[in-house]
Amino acid sequence: MTRNALCGVAVASLLLAGCSTQTANGESTLTELPTSTVRMPRHVDQSDRPQVIFDPCLDIPDSTLTAAGYDPTSEKNADFKGGSYTFLGCSYDSFHRPEGFYYGMNVLSGNISFAEEQEKKKDHSTPIDINGRRGLLIFDSTVTDYCELSVETSYGVLGFTRSIFSDHAGPAPVSEWCTGLEDTARTYEPLIPKGD
């Protein structure tokens, strides 16, 4: 059997790690086939937008969540599977804070463009920098105990939506609504693939 035929059988089976080649003197060697390190997204929409290559549910280690003050055991799915765009996401609760409140946060990785996000949030956003990436801090004083942040990625945006839940009656002070959210985004940003 020729070298090409041997490799063809191995590729066709997709079960072998490589294929055998035979040199002119009759010795056999093993040639490694390339393996893909890219994971298919859990959801793919019907658009021509880029695939969402960072999945908060799979790509944020428990140690990073804990370092940012969030409880990994509180994870819940928060995906949005649209026909024209996709958001892969998970929600997390922070550890209870001594001040008598905790945060509930969604981390959403989507394939809408950063320009679309800017346009959508233009009335309530401020441009910021997150570890060298463009970002938006989104604050609307009419939405009580709530703040958002978006970071530009190669495939679209990574968004954070955060609510404050208090042990006390009434809302938290307005000054607290966005406190620490930029630090959280800076903690997670290094995990985003550097494809841009």
Looking at the chain, the whole-number percentage of residues with pLDDT higher than 70 is 77
pLDDT grade for 79, boundaries at 50, 70 and 90 = confident
Backbone angles phi, psi at 3, to 5 degrees: -55, -45
CB 50 within 8 A of CB 154: yes
What single letter denotes the amino acid at residue 28? S
pLDDT grade for 153, boundaries at 50, 70 and 90 = very high
pLDDT grade for 105, boundaries at 50, 70 and 90 = very high
Q: What is the pTM of this model?
A: 0.75
The pLDDT value given to residue 46: 74
List pLDDT tens digits, range 5-63: 333 333 333 333 333 444 455 554 444 444 334 566 676 767 888 989 999 999 999 99
